[in-house]
Structure 1
């Protein structure tokens, strides 16, 4: 017995409908997994503990460079000794911020105090008056170097203590920066 004649189909085929439904479902799942929905921007992910630690370390390095700047402004004669250490602190800040995923990192092109920069005023106690951008700097060069060495030592110690809470790569990076700080202490202390 012959088969009845088939009629031509009108409209989309079943395969086409299933494929488009699967594509729509995949798109919706992707949107849900990124935290965005139509008409609403994606939520920014919460930074991890490693990212927070590296961001904090970058800020600490920037602060350390600012301390170097304050001492250099008060004691231009220390430029040969402190400028390389300041530049290292700025480089550490850049790398730490980059690894933390920060959008803006400290400027490596921040100006070094020039020998012709005016020295900060000195108070009766022998310390330079604190400026808007920096701490009070002792009048004596040795005391100023000791202040920088103490700041480097404290920061290196704090970074070393933070290592146990970090993952592999961030811990290695912070350990390296802490070791560099310990070397800076040695270089500032050898009189």
Structure 2
């Protein structure tokens, strides 16, 4: 005797067909898919580019700070070199040096402090500020950029810790 009603196989087939239809409908976003759809996509793309450019400017400024401290206090150069190289790689991952919205370069950071320990503490504070800003930016970033920013923010937090420890170990 044959069973009547819904079988497990037919229920799974129907669910799969429904899910496939939903996926295909969601992926069909062309220019005529929905009114305002392209405007939203363009706005999202502009926001992602602006966020990436802002992060690149922060990295460029941070790299300049590393270079200033290393130049002003040569004793710190061996400790700063690996962190500066990492910041340079972060800048490259973000798309390199970025221009400000008006087309002008990012403003130069203030000169390094004359005291070596103070300069390292200021650099650590700047790393923390930039890392915190990147962590906040994760809330609005697209997934790929969010992963990149999270990774760079984590590295920045580690750099801040290492700079604080370097300040403690460096002779005055």
Q: State whether TM-score is above 0.5.
A: yes
For residue 138 of structure 1, what is the aligned residue in structure 2? 113
Give the 3-state SS of the residue equivalent to 2:139 in structure 1: helix
Q: Which runs of 5+ in 1 are unaligned?
A: 1-32, 34-44, 98-104, 107-131
Structure 1 segments (4+ residues) deviating >4 Å: none
The reply to whether residue 91 of structure 1 matches residue 92 of structure 2 is no
Q: CA deviation at 1:170?
A: 0.7
Which structure is higher in RCO with an 8 Å CA cutoff and minimum separation 6?
A: 2
Partners of 2:163 and 2:109 in 1: CA distance: 20
Give the 3-state SS of the residue equivalent to 1:165 in structure 2: coil
Partners of 1:152 and 1:69 in 2: CA distance: 14
Partners of 1:133 and 1:156 in 2: CA distance: 19
Q: Which runs of 5+ in 2 are unaligned?
A: 1-30, 32-41, 98-106
Partners of 1:81 and 1:88 in 2: CA distance: 12
Contact 2:59 2:91 in 1 (8 A): yes
The reply to whether residue 167 of structure 1 matches residue 142 of structure 2 is yes
Structure number with higher helix proportion: 2
With normalisation by structure 1, the TM-score equals 0.57
- C-alpha RMSD of matched pairs (Å): 1.8
Question: What is the aligned residue count?
Answer: 116
- CA deviation map 1:43-89 (0-9, x unaligned): xx775211211111011101100011111111011001111111111
For residue 53 of structure 1, what is the aligned residue in structure 2? 51
For residue 68 of structure 2, what is the aligned residue in structure 1? 70
The structure whose Rg is larger is 1
- CA deviation map 1:82-102 (0-9, x unaligned): 1111111111011011xxxxx
